[in-house]
């Protein structure tokens, strides 16, 4: 269930941000226990999330015109009432997203988190058991954070409106935030934890234990440098703060008793890192383009790059580290 949801968020079509607004709306509505949701009811959280994002990033679609997005901007500017916003949302906001939400790679996923019911003049969706099962999974709060992070990444690419090859996502160690430099001005994009968690399917990179990205949780995951950051002075030609070298781990694996600390991971983890990075690349920019720029244009080049860094790392740090897996491998 989790994998199907994440496939929508990570690999569903991105021509407008409506998919993300609908996802966050479903996550907000599901805990209420209500099954039948009219479009008028759905319009309240749906328009709320769009209005919030438009405040910071006015460009929310690849198309030049949208009556619905114009209405969101007008509401933010105090030019129309909330009821008028809801009316326009019902009339214009759901025209495509309701039908397209479950489509990934041009085909429908095997499950549905809601069913469309427009029969006999009705305009509503019916939440299925699948959305409630999603709420019952460990660390269900992660899904909203992952959706928000993915949304931030996509709208940043639209907003900057520059060649994908010139877009480079960077990492701030202190704040745990991804950012980009645009016209010599730093723009914070999103939490590194939220951006990476979906691609690791909510699991620790090393032991596959469940992790959470919530900053107020005592078991919040760590952002770990796969090749230890202590190597940076020895590797001036390699950016160890690059997205390609960042993984999410449980605190125990990163810094607990018997944790990794500044050791080089066992070679089996190198294969896993390559697979994780290829998973990221199969998604859209800016993470995709950033990793390609940092590690190589082809899969063969990227594999060779990791092998080269690994050899240099073990030559310098000598010791390798590994840990038992506490759950079945998921990636």
Q: What phi-psi label fits residue 66: left (phi over 0), alpha (psi between -120 and 50 degrees) or beta?
A: beta
How much of the chain, in percent, has pLDDT values that exceed 90? 51
Angle at alpha carbon of residue 307, lines to 276 and 207, rounded to 5°:
40
pLDDT digits (tens, 9 = 90+) for 267-313: 999 999 999 999 888 876 567 888 998 999 999 999 999 999 999 99
| Domain map (residue ranges) of the chain | 2-135, 153-321
Picking from 165, 148, 155, 146, the residue whose alpha carbon sits closest to that of residue 290 is: 165
pLDDT over 70 (residue 167): no
Looking at every residue in the chain, the average pLDDT score rounds to: 87
pLDDT, average across residues 1-30: 86
pLDDT band at 177 (very low <50, low <70, confident <90, very high): confident
Alpha-carbon distance of 8 to 12, in angstroms, equals 5
Q: Cβ of 282: how many Cβ atoms within 10 Å?
A: 12
Q: Are 250 and 219 in contact (CB under 8 A)?
A: yes
pLDDT at 184: 46
Take residue 66 and report the two structure tokens written for it.
């949208």
The pLDDT of residue 205: 96
Residue 81: Cβ-neighbour burial (10 angstroms; 0-12, 13-18, 19+): exposed
Query: In Å, how far from its chain's centre is CA 153?
Result: 8
pLDDT score of 187 more than 80:
no
Token pair 């660390």 is found at: 139
Q: Confirm if 38 and 21 have CB atoms less than 8 A apart.
A: no
Q: Give 57-82 pLDDT, tens digit per residue.
A: 888 887 778 899 999 999 999 999 99
DSSP string, 223-262: EEESS-GGGGGG-TTS-TTSGGGEEEE-HHHHHSTT--TT
Q: Which of 11, 15, 7, 128 is nearest to 63 (CA)?
A: 15
User: Average pLDDT in the 308-331 region?
Assistant: 92
- Cα–Cα dist 188/170, whole Å: 9
Does 14 have pLDDT greater than 70? no
pLDDT at 65: 80
Per residue in 119-155, pLDDT (tens digit) is 988 899 999 999 999 888 877 888 998 899 888 877 7
Angle at 311 between CA 305 and CA 314, to 5 degrees: 135
Q: How far is the C-alpha of 296 from the C-alpha of 196, rounded, in Å?
A: 20
What was the pLDDT predicted at 165? 44
Cβ proximity of 94 and 42 under 8 Å = yes
- Whether the pLDDT of residue 110 is over 80: the answer is yes
pLDDT at 163 (0 to 100) = 46
Residue-level pLDDT at 124: 95
DSSP states along 47-107: HHHHHHHHHH----BSSS--HHHHHHHHHHTTSS-HHHHHHHIIIIITTTHHHHTTEETTE
């Amino acid at each position: 269930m989790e994998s199907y949801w994440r496939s929508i968020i990570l690999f569903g079509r991105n021509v407008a941000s409506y998919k993300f607004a609908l996802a966050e709306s479903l996550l907000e509505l599901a805990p209420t226990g209500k099954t039948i949701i009219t479009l008028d009811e759905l319009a309240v959280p749906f328009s709320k999330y769009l209005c919030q994002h438009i405040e910071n990033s006015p460009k929310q679609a690849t198309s030049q015109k949208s009556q619905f997005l114009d209405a969101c901007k007008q509401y933010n500017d105090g030019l129309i009432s909330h009821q008028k916003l809801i009316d326009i949302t019902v009339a214009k906001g759901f025209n495509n997203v309701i039908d397209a939400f479950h489509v990934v790679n041009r085909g429908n996923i095997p499950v549905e988190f809601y069913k469309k019911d427009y029969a006999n003049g009705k305009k509503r969706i019916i939440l299925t058991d699948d959305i409630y099962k999603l709420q019952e999974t460990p660390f269900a709060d992660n899904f909203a954070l992952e959706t928000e992070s993915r949304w931030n990444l996509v709208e940043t690419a639209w907003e900057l409106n520059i060649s994908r090859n010139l877009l480079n996502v960077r990492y701030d160690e202190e704040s745990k935030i991804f950012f980009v430099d645009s016209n010599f001005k730093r723009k914070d994009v999103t939490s590194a934890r939220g951006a990476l968690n979906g691609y690791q399917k909510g699991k620790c990179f090393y032991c596959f234990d469940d992790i959470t990205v919530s900053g107020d949780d005592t078991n919040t995951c760590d952002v770990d440098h796969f090749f230890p950051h202590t190597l940076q002075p020895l590797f001036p030609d390699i950016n160890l703060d690059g997205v390609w070298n960042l993984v999410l781990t449980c605190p125990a694996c990163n810094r607990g008793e018997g944790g990794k600390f500044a050791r080089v991971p066992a070679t089996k983890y190198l294969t896993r890192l390559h697979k994780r990075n290829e998973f990221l690349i199969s998604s859209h920019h800016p993470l995709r383009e950033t990793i390609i720029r940092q590690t190589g244009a082809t899969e063969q080049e990227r594999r060779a790059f990791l092998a080269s860094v690994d050899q240099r790392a073990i030559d310098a740090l000598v010791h390798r580290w590994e840990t038992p897996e506490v759950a079945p491998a998921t990636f």
